[in-house]
Structure 1
Amino acid sequence: MLALALLPLHLLPLLTTVLPAAFTGGGTRRWFGGRGENVRAEAQAAKDAAAAAFYELDSAQRDLRISIETIAAVDSSPAARKAAGDFEAFGRRIDEVSHQYITAVDAHDLDRDDLEASAAARARTELTQAKDALGTTKRDLDRFTQDLAPLLDKAETQLARLAPAVERARQTLLAATTALDAVRAAGLKADDLAGRLAALAPELTKLNQGAGQHGVPDTLHRADRVVRDAEAVRAEAERLPERARDIDRRLVSLRTRAQALTTRSEQVQPILSELRRRFTAACWQDLQRVPEQAAQSVRQAETKLTEAQRARDDQRWPDATALLSTVRALLNSTDEAVSAAGDRLHRLNAVAKDPQAEIERTRFAVRDAQRLAMAGRQKPDPRHARPLDDSVARLDRAVAALDGRHPDYWHFLTETEAVRTTVARVVAQIREERGQGA
């Protein structure tokens, strides 16, 4: 105040206009303090909260987009397509609430010195509304994400299978190629296997191009198919040396058997001569052509053996195997026919010497079945009694036919065998029915 007293009088009016400005710091900012500063702080807090909500929603959307892309890459089901559509709808909703937030931020500069309390309050309200809209959308998005969990788990499982499946297909192809090379090095041709392996080359190319070009499901299916086909080629290639040795053994064995059957078939004619001499025509007529048929079958077998040897030399393994099967069938039928003649003579000799043994054997079977039919019953079930009674009558007729001067022993044997077959069928029926009733 002493300084003011010393100033010239003509400067005092000017000083009175400058001093107010000096005391306010030289600016025009209006401090509204107290309640006004609280409103500004609340507006800033609302802005920060809205920014955090915006960031959380943006992060959740980006994470969910990765999940949707994962599902879409693997799954083309209606549920997956619906999920993708729902995500697009969420995207539009997120754009709307994000626009609301950005508009509220751009509309209010909370750092302005001359910010009015009313403007700060309005900013707080709009930013709070934007934060609430962002938060609601985030919660809905979280629920949608939870609902996608089964689809996402399935997709991630398939994706986790992808790399191992492709690698397994490559390794199986390599193993098949190695096995095929080893077979060829041993001097064995495997043209059919080589052709099947070559057919897998385009599939390997597609596997190498990746799931991005062909899709995850198709790539997985292709990998599984390559593994299956290549494994079959590898297994067959590894079995090929043993297959060749087996064919060689069968050629030798069947050739020896054909020679033995040739010798045996030559013995049929003496057997037929004895049958003609000692028994009626009905006992041997069906065997008349056995020697001729046996010789013809053996010749056919030897021809097929020659063809099988040629197929083996040419390494046509399927053809060789098929021909050897034909040879075996021819020799089996020939063996049965040749054996039938000797068996016929043996059985006829036995029954001619002692028919009573065959009769008692058959009667025992009938009586045993009758006892079973009566077990636990006052009288037998007609379904069981009738065929058993018929069998008794049939046996009696067969025995009576032996009283002639030249009995047909073969007819007698076929009749007794037929009776035992019928009786066995009745016994099986009784046991089955009682087993079901137990």
Structure 2
Amino acid sequence: MAAMNGGGTRRWGWGSGRAEQSRTEAQAAKDAAAAAFYELDTAQRDLRISIETITAVDASPAGRKAAADFADFGRRIDSVSHAYITTVDAHDLDRDDLDAAAASRARAELDRARQELERVKGELDRFAQGLGSLLTRAENQLARLAPAIERARQGLLAASNALDAVRAQGLKADALAARLAALSPELTKLNEGAGTHGVQETLQRADRVVREAEAIRAEAEGLPQKAADIDKRLASLRTRTEALQTRAGQVEPVLSELRRRFSVACWQDLQNVPQQAEHSARQANEKLGEARTARAEQRWPDATSLLSTVRALLNTTDEAVKAAGERLRRLNEVAFDHSEEVERTRFAIRDAQRLAMAGRSTPDPRHAQPLDNAVERVDRAVASLSGRHPDYWHLLTELDAVRETVQQVVERIRHERASGS
């Protein structure tokens, strides 16, 4: 058989060695392509985790573009992977009759498949590098997630403990308890996690729960002091109401003296003060009683509001009662000697005139005119004092008005000079 085949045996030996070499090279190309395929698949899997991290947190255009670009890469990876698998399936490097030419073709096609896999892998790596800032920001937000949820839970626990503590002191906290109960659905959603509600929404919800729980805790802890403050205000306003009722009864004698000694114009605007003072004092007493009831029932907002009303009523009444006494005092002074009030006003005018002339040879008409008018108003007011019962109140109100006008001129001059106008 050897003699029959002759040189054929020698060709087989040469061809077999070449085929084995080609098979070895093809197998190496196959192994390299498999490694490239594995690296690409691993890179895609790793990057998918990064993309999922970004899309879970970042709904910005940049985040959406990253997801879209990754999806596009997925399609390209599927394409080169399919080409690689098809190439591998097309070449059985283990068959006995594999010749050198077939092995060489297999090696070439596997090399091309590997190169395509490596090319796409390189592009994927560059894409991943470009996601650095987006991924860092997303990871930072995710890192905030667990601590934020834990802070919310601890905040709710602290608020609950604070409510228990004030209740142990015999204080009601029904409104605060209702607010705390309203947070229960929020806690349920926090427990369901970001996978259900999204990272951003979960972080925002956790922050809201923390703020509200902290407010409830602070208000609960402040209830004992609030109760003490309300008790103190009740006692203080009760004393003040009693004192004001006494003072209100003294307005009528003041009015009687005003009527007896001064003209109608000096006291007619005070005619209703006694009735108003009595009415306001009576209202204050009623509201004070309502505030005591609210305090006993621990309706803290109602008690606080009622006490503010009482204070406002007392302030109004106090001002009216003071006005009558102050009117008599000022009228007594000016009736005895009006020259001091007049001179005080003239001095204010002269002082303003000196300021208006400072650094000038002639005054600015905008300043001079109102000051000249002020001088004339004082003269007219003084001249109006005539008859058995001069209108001293008109004199006082006119002098007050003149001084206010002069002060406005002074302020205008100083402002203009400070601004350089």
The TM-score, its normalising length taken from structure 2, stands at 0.93
SS in 1 for 2:170: coil
Structure 1 position 212, deviation (Å): 1.8
1:347 match: 330
SS in 1 for 2:375: helix
Residue identity in the other structure for 1:359: V
1:225 match: 208
RMSD of aligned Cα (Å): 2.5
Residue identity in the other structure for 1:434: R
Matching residue within 23, 31, 45 for 1:48: 31
Q: 1:248/1:29 Cα in 2 relative to 1: closer, same or farther (>3 Å)?
A: farther
1:75 match: 58
2:81 match: 98
SS in 1 for 2:81: helix
1:9 match: none
Deviates more, 1:173-182 or 1:112-121: 112-121
Show structure 2 runs of 5+ residues with no match.
none
Matching residue within 332, 339, 345 for 2:315: 332
- Structure 1 contact 72–80 (Cα < 8 Å) conserved: yes
Deviations 1:32-87 (A, max 9, x none): 48876665554344333322221221111001111111122223334333322222
Distance 1:244 1:213 in 2: 44
- Structure 2 contact 27–107 (Cα < 8 Å) conserved: yes
Deviates more, 1:349-358 or 1:377-386: 377-386
Distance 1:353 1:427 in 2: 31
Structure 1 position 306, deviation (Å): 0.5
Matching residue within 181, 195, 201 for 1:198: 181
Structure 1 position 420, deviation (Å): 0.6
2:146 match: 163
SS in 1 for 2:359: coil
2:217 match: 234
SS in 2 for 1:402: coil
Structure 1 position 106, deviation (Å): 2.7
Residue identity in the other structure for 1:52: A
Matching residue within 393, 414, 418 for 1:435: 418
Structure 1 position 379, deviation (Å): 2.0
Whether 1:212 aligns to 2:201 is: no
Matching residue within 275, 298, 310 for 2:293: 310
Q: 1:79/1:16 Cα in 2 relative to 1: closer, same or farther (>3 Å)?
A: closer
Deviations 1:232-264 (A, max 9, x none): 111111111111111111110000001111111
Residue identity in the other structure for 1:80: G
Q: 1:20/1:140 Cα in 2 relative to 1: closer, same or farther (>3 Å)?
A: closer
SS in 2 for 1:377: coil
Residue identity in the other structure for 1:417: D
1:173 match: 156
Structure 1 position 404, deviation (Å): 4.2
Deviations 1:316-359 (A, max 9, x none): 11111111011000100111111111111111111122211111
Structure 1 position 428, deviation (Å): 0.9
- Structure 1 contact 30–114 (Cα < 8 Å) conserved: no
Q: What is the count of residue pairs matched by the alignment?
A: 421
Structure 1 position 423, deviation (Å): 0.8
Whether 1:258 aligns to 2:241 is: yes
- Structure 2 contact 349–374 (Cα < 8 Å) conserved: yes
1:146 match: 129
Matching residue within 387, 412, 431 for 2:370: 387
- Structure 2 contact 291–307 (Cα < 8 Å) conserved: yes
Structure 1 position 15, deviation (Å): 9.6
Structure 1 position 266, deviation (Å): 1.8
- Structure 1 contact 53–135 (Cα < 8 Å) conserved: yes
SS in 2 for 1:180: helix
1:66 match: 49
- Structure whose alpha-carbon radius of gyration is higher: 1
Distance 1:128 1:15 in 2: 39
SS in 1 for 2:384: helix
- Identical amino acids, percent of aligned pairs: 70
Deviations 1:267-296 (A, max 9, x none): 222222222222111111111221221111
Show structure 1 runs of 5+ residues with no match.
1-13
Residue identity in the other structure for 2:394: H
- Structure 2 contact 84–114 (Cα < 8 Å) conserved: yes
1:120 match: 103
Structure 1 position 20, deviation (Å): 11
Distance 1:29 1:312 in 2: 113
Residue identity in the other structure for 1:222: R
Distance 2:53 2:410 in 1: 68
